[in-house]
Structure 1
Amino acid sequence: MGDNNGLPLFVSKSAKGRILFQLYAILIFVGVCFIFLYRLSHIPRREEAGRWAWIGLFLSELWFSFYWFLTTFVRLNPIDRYTFKDRISLRYEKFLPSIDIFVCTADPTIEPPAMVINTVLSVMAYDYPPEKLSVYLSDDGGSVLTFYAMLEASRFSKIWLPFCKKFKVEPRSPEAYFRTAVEPLGEPAMAKEWTSVKIETTTKLGRISEEIYHEHKGFKEWTWLASKRDHQTILQILIDGRDPNAVDIEGQPLPTLVYLAREKRPQYHHNFKAGAMNALLRVSSKISNGPIILNVDCDMYSNNSESVRDVICFFMDEEEGHKVGFVQFPQTFENLTKNDVYSSSLNVINEAELPGLDGNGGPCYIGSGCFHRREILCGQKYSKKCKVDWKRLNNREVEESVSVLEETCKVLASCTYEENTQWGKEMGLKYGCPVEDVITGLAIQCRGWRSIYFNPERKGFLGVAPTTLLQSLVQHKRWSEGDFQIFASRYSPFVMGYKKIPLKLQLSYCYFLLWAANCLATLYYVVVPSLCLLRGISLFPEISNSWVLPFAFVIFVHRAYSLGEFVFFGGTLQGWWNDQRMWLYKRMTSYFFGFLDNILRLLGFSKSAFVITAKVTDDDVSQRYKQEIMEFGTSSPMFTILATLALLNTFCFIGGMVRVIVDVEILVWERFTLQILLCGLLVFINLPVYQGLFLRKDNGSMPTSVTCQSIMSAILACAISLY
Structure 2
Amino acid sequence: MCFLMDPRIGRKVCYVQFPQRFDGIDRNDRYANRNTVFFDINMKGLDGIQGPVYVGTGCVFRRQALYGYNPPKGPKRPKMVSCDCCPCFGSRRKKQKFFKNDGDLPVEEGIYEDKEMLMSQLNFDKRFGQSGAFVTSTSMEYCGVPPSSSPGTLLKEAIHVISCGYEDKTEWGKELGWIYGSITEDILTGFKMHCRGWRSVYCMPKRPAFKGTAPVNLSDRLNQVLRWALGSVEIFFSRHSPVWYGYKNGRLKWLERFAYINTTVYPFTSIPLLAYCTLPAVCLLTGKFIMPSISTMASLFFIALFISIFTTGILELRWSGVSIEEWWRNEQFWVIGGVSSHLFAVVQGLLKVLAGIDTNFTVTSKASDDEDFGELYAFKWTTLLIPPTTILIVNIIGVVAGISDAINNGYQSWGPLFGKLFFSFWVIVHLYPFLKGLMGRQNRTPTVVVIWSVLLASIFSLLWVRIDPFVVKAKGPDVKQCGINC
**TM-score bucket of the superposed structures, by smaller chain:** 0.7 to 0.9
Alignment of 1:445 with 2:194, yes or no, is yes
2:195 and 2:6 map into 1 onto residues whose CA distance is: 22
Q: Is the 8 A contact 2:213 2:367 kept in 1?
A: no
Q: Is the 8 A contact 1:341 1:575 kept in 2?
A: no
Q: TM-score, normalised by structure 2?
A: 0.73
Alignment of 1:497 with 2:246, yes or no, is yes
**Where does 1:242-641 land on structure 2 (aligned, <5 Å)?**
312-384=1-73, 385-386=111-112, 395-396=144-145, 399-400=150-151, 409-498=158-247, 499-540=250-291, 558=309, 562=313, 566=317, 569=320, 573-607=324-358, 609-617=360-368, 619=370, 622-623=373-374, 625=376, 631=377, 633-641=379-387
**AA paired with 2:112?**
C
CA RMSD of aligned residues (A): 3.2
Q: Residue 679 of structure 1 corresponds to which residue in structure 2?
A: 424
Change in 2 beyond 3 A, CA 1:338/1:567: farther
Higher Rg: 2
Q: Secondary structure at the match of 1:603?
A: helix
Q: Is the 8 A contact 2:280 2:395 kept in 1?
A: no
**AA paired with 1:457?**
K
Unaligned 5+ residue runs, structure 1? 1-311, 626-630
Q: Residue 452 of structure 2 corresponds to which residue in structure 1?
A: 709
Change in 2 beyond 3 A, CA 1:673/1:712: same
Higher relative contact order (CA 8 A, sep 6+): 2
Change in 2 beyond 3 A, CA 1:608/1:443: farther
* 1:653-711 residue CA offsets vs partner (Å, 9 max, x unmatched): 1111112222236x43344433221112223333455556679537xx53221122112
**Where does 1:79-118 land on structure 2 (aligned, <5 Å)?**
none
Report the alpha carbon displacement of residue 519 of structure 1 after superposing the two structures with TM: 0.2
Q: Is the 8 A contact 2:24 2:367 kept in 1?
A: no
Q: Secondary structure at the match of 2:343?
A: helix
Q: Secondary structure at the match of 1:511?
A: helix
Q: Secondary structure at the match of 1:359?
A: coil
Unaligned 5+ residue runs, structure 2? 74-110, 116-140, 467-486
Change in 2 beyond 3 A, CA 1:324/1:646: same
1:689 and 1:612 map into 2 onto residues whose CA distance is: 22
Report the alpha carbon displacement of residue 314 of structure 1 after superposing the two structures with TM: 1.4
1:563 and 1:660 map into 2 onto residues whose CA distance is: 37
Change in 2 beyond 3 A, CA 1:355/1:574: closer
Q: Is the 8 A contact 2:379 2:440 kept in 1?
A: no
Q: Is the 8 A contact 1:314 1:321 kept in 2?
A: yes
Q: Secondary structure at the match of 1:327?
A: strand
Q: How many aligned positions are there?
A: 398
Q: TM-score, normalised by structure 1?
A: 0.50
1:681 and 1:489 map into 2 onto residues whose CA distance is: 36
The partner residue of 1:719 within 437, 462, 465 is: 462
* 1:627-671 residue CA offsets vs partner (Å, 9 max, x unmatched): xxxx46122111111211111110011111112222236x43344
Q: Is the 8 A contact 1:481 1:598 kept in 2?
A: yes
1:573 and 1:319 map into 2 onto residues whose CA distance is: 38
Report the alpha carbon displacement of residue 523 of structure 1 after superposing the two structures with TM: 0.1
1:360 and 1:322 map into 2 onto residues whose CA distance is: 17
Q: Secondary structure at the match of 2:266?
A: coil
Change in 2 beyond 3 A, CA 1:684/1:371: closer
1:471 and 1:706 map into 2 onto residues whose CA distance is: 16
**AA paired with 2:273?**
T
Change in 2 beyond 3 A, CA 1:552/1:317: closer
Q: Is the 8 A contact 1:324 1:452 kept in 2?
A: yes
Q: Is the 8 A contact 2:52 2:201 kept in 1?
A: yes
Change in 2 beyond 3 A, CA 1:343/1:687: closer
* 1:42-73 residue CA offsets vs partner (Å, 9 max, x unmatched): xxxxxxxxxxxxxxxxxxxxxxxxxxxxxxxx
**AA paired with 1:648?**
V
Query: Is the deviation greater in 702-711 or in 595-604?
Result: 702-711
1:586 and 1:540 map into 2 onto residues whose CA distance is: 25
* 1:473-532 residue CA offsets vs partner (Å, 9 max, x unmatched): 111111111122222322122322212311111112122222201100100001123113
**AA paired with 2:419?**
L
* 1:220-267 residue CA offsets vs partner (Å, 9 max, x unmatched): xxxxxxxxxxxxxxxxxxxxxxxxxxxxxxxxxxxxxxxxxxxxxxxx
Report the alpha carbon displacement of residue 409 of structure 1 after superposing the two structures with TM: 3.3
Q: Is the 8 A contact 1:434 1:608 kept in 2?
A: no
**AA paired with 2:177?**
G
* 1:278-336 residue CA offsets vs partner (Å, 9 max, x unmatched): xxxxxxxxxxxxxxxxxxxxxxxxxxxxxxxxxx1112122221111111111121333
2:372 and 2:306 map into 1 onto residues whose CA distance is: 36
Q: Residue 653 of structure 1 corresponds to which residue in structure 2?
A: 399
